[in-house]
Structure formats: structure tokens, C-alpha cells
Amino acid sequence: MNICVVGTGYVGLVVGTCMSDLGFEVTCADNDPDKIDALLQSRVPIYEPGLEPILRRNVREGRLRFTLDTAAAIAAADVVYIAVGTPGLEDGHADLSGVDAVSELIGRHMSRRIVAIIKSTVPVGTADRVREIIGRSARYEFDVVSNPEFLKEGAAVEDFTHPDRIVIGCRTAWARDVMNELYDPLVRTGRPILFMDNRSAELAKYASNAMLATKISFMNELSRLCERVGADIEMVRKGTGSDTRIGPRFLFAGAGYGGSCFPKDVRALVQTAKAYDLDLKIANAVEDVNFEQKVVLADKVLARLGPDLRGKKVALWGLAFKPETDDMREAPSLVIIDALLAAGAQVSAYDPEAMTVAQRILGDRITFATSAMEAAQDADALVLVTEWNEFRHPDLAELKGRMRGLRIFDGRNIYDPQRLREQGFEYQGIGRP
């Protein structure tokens, strides 16, 4: 079975690489010459643990190819994955222009019966839209399958090869047979393939991300209450997460969520509901709480050092929106940096993987250090934004010797407050007394 994956961004590259590793012939197509040039040299343009060696192996063994000629790749395919970006527009709707363009190419260039698989995150009703666009020029039978991805950045390869579930929306029995053949190697351990209609599959993706974002925002809001009443959000988290009906995951209070999925997907869900004259009050509140949470750390710094930070240096540990990625999309660090710079602070930052991306975004507005300790040199305050493992156990004696003011603002609650205070640091976390 020949597979074409259109789009070599985060999702498309993981899907194409992992499908080739299952033994399928895969061609990944994109219209970005720089990206394809890098991939032809087996250079992975994103940071994702474990992806590069799998890509290199399958390129070497001839199962994985990259091309700018999308039309030819579609013509040679039995299955076409649509994995292009669907960024959020200013009004919150998803931008489907890329999906539309690929659908048009499929209709014009398909040379046999095919299954078109929508892997991009798309609003309810997109499969119908894609089906109509392909059908305008299609000369062969086809079906459009909704197959949303549930990949966590930093663990995408593991999530793809060991999925919790595979959600598939389709109409025809033969498309269902194709999907079973594609994913049979991934469900031998008993994880389910859930077949349903297209619209339910599309909504399942948004519902999953909105539910996870809700858990995060709920705990972030509770963290503010904890600070008011003198409770510890970490103890509240343990007491709540031990309930098997709730579970411990995504209950960590912090500096707010970011990335390519949660923010735009919550907004898109809200906009979808509005199109059907519904107001999703919980989803709206989730977005509002998250926006407010991103400024909490900066507010703590300003409350402690004063509103005028001219002459003050603040060190930031972590720039990516989460560990094990270089993704800076909607990262809390960007909001924190803007607030600190607006108050006149000098900001020095370090991240193990996101420095290049951050430099493209921030330019010379801040100083980029070559290590965590260099960032902390002569700092009046240290703000922990991203919980990379290398930040969890710093040499406190060295840190104490480098900093000018021994104030630590822990945006992910990874430090032991008592230990830091015993070492002479002033500590503030999120939702901790």
C-alpha cells in the first residue's frame, strides 16, 4: 500500500515516519523547499525525541521519501493523509485554506480508488467539505476518513506507536477495511479502534483537548484560592487526583498552557458552538482563566520587586511551552517576558531546545544565555517557566553565588520550598503558602 502524507509539520512528519516504520511505502510532500531540502538530508526540522533515528533508518531502507511534487505523490498513492496546518484565525475559527488546497489536488490528481484521511485538527463538518471539494473533479471512487491525532509534543512517537485509542470516522466498509489494515500493528495489545461517523470523530478531538485544558485551568484557578486561604495546591492536587474518578493527570497548577493545540482548539470549539447558536460557558471560562494565569508569575515579580524594574535583572529558566519540545507557540514565557520588559527589566533566558526559535521571535529584546547558570548571573530574581529535567536539581550553592537577589519564582512547583528557604532563598510558587 502506497501512502502519501501531505504536510511535513509536526503531525505529518511523525505520521509519515512512523507509518514507514510499520513497513508501508510513504512519500511525504510539502510546498516548503527549505523543509524538504532538510528532510532529503535526513535533518529533522523539529525537536521531537526519538523521531530522527527512525526517520534516518527508513530513508536509508527506502521506505520513506520526501518531495515537493505533491501532485505526483498523490497520483501514486492508495492512501493520502491530509496533515497540513489549521492555525487559528483572529476570530477563533480554524483556517482551512490548506485543507481545501490539498483536497483540490487529491480530486485532480488521484489515479485510482483512494482513501483521503484527514489527520489535521479540523472543525465539525470538514469531512463533508473535503468530500465535496474532491468530488468536483474526482474520476475514481474515494472515501474521506476523519482520523484525528492525539499526539503529545515530546512523546509523539510513543503516542503514535502505543495509542490509547484510534478514532476513525468513515462511511464505507472498504475504507474501514483499509484503516484496519493500516493500524492493525498498533492495536495488537488490545487498544481499541473506535469507528464512528465523521462528525463524531471530528468533535472527539476537540472534546479531548478542551477537557484536558479544563482540568489545567480548573487547578490554576484553585491555586489562586489556595493563596488566599493559606492552602497548598500541591496537597489539594494529591487529595483530588487520588480519586479514581478524577485521576492525577493534568492536575498540576502552573503558569498556564500554550502550544499548538489547546489554545486554538478551545477557541475553535467555542466558534463551532456559536455557529449553531450555542454558548459553551465552560470552554469560554477555560480560555479566560488560562489568559489570566500566564501573567501570574510576572505579577508576583512586580509585587515583590516593585512596578519599576529598571536596573533589575530577571532570569528565565525555560522558554518552550512545555519540556521536550522547542515549540514556542502561545508559550507563557512570551507573556511573562512582555510584562517584565514593559516594567523596564533586563531579561536573560535559557532553554535547552527552544533558543533558536525564541531568538527568531524575540530578536534582541532579551539576552540569551548559553546555560541556566549564566542566565542567573547577577539576577535579582529567577523565574522558572518550563519544567525541564535539568532545572529540577540545580547546584544551589553555585546559584546562590551567582544571583544578586535570592528570589525564586517557581512557575511549575518543582522545588521544595523548605529546602530553598533553608539555603537562604526567598521562594514563591503557584498556589503555595
Residue at 351: amino acid letter: D
Return the closest-CA partner of residue 146 out of 160, 127, 165: 127
Catalytic option among 4, 18, 28, 261: 261
Compute, in degrees rounded to 10, the torsion defined by CA atoms 12, 18, 21, 22: -110
Residues 52 and 379: their CA atoms lie apart, in Å, by 37
Cell of 262: 489547546
Integer Cα distance of 273 and 318 in angstroms:
35
Measured CA to CA in angstroms, residue 337 lies from 23, 180, 295, 298, 430 at distances of 46, 47, 10, 8, 18
H or E stretch including 2? strand 2-6
Give CA torsion, residues 21, 25, 31, 36, to 10 deg: 50
Tell me the CA end-to-end span of the chain in Å, nearest whole number: 59
Report d(CA 352, CA 365) in Å as an integer. 19
Mark residue 259 as left, alpha or beta (left: phi above 0; alpha: psi -120 to 50; beta: remaining). Answer: left
Would residue 28 show up in a list of annotated catalytic residues for this protein? no
Asked if 99 contacts 122 with a C-beta cutoff of 8 angstroms, the reply is: yes
- Strand 381-384: give its sheet, edge to edge: 367-368, 346-350, 313-317, 381-384, 407-410, 426-428
* Number of CB atoms found within 10 A of residue 433's CB: 11
Q: Which distant-in-sequence residues (6+ apart) come within 8 Å of 28 by Cβ?
A: 4, 5, 8, 12, 13, 16, 39, 64, 65, 66, 67
- Which residue(s) pair with 428 in the sheet? 409
Residue 185: all three cell numbers together = 500493528
Show which residues are catalytic: 261
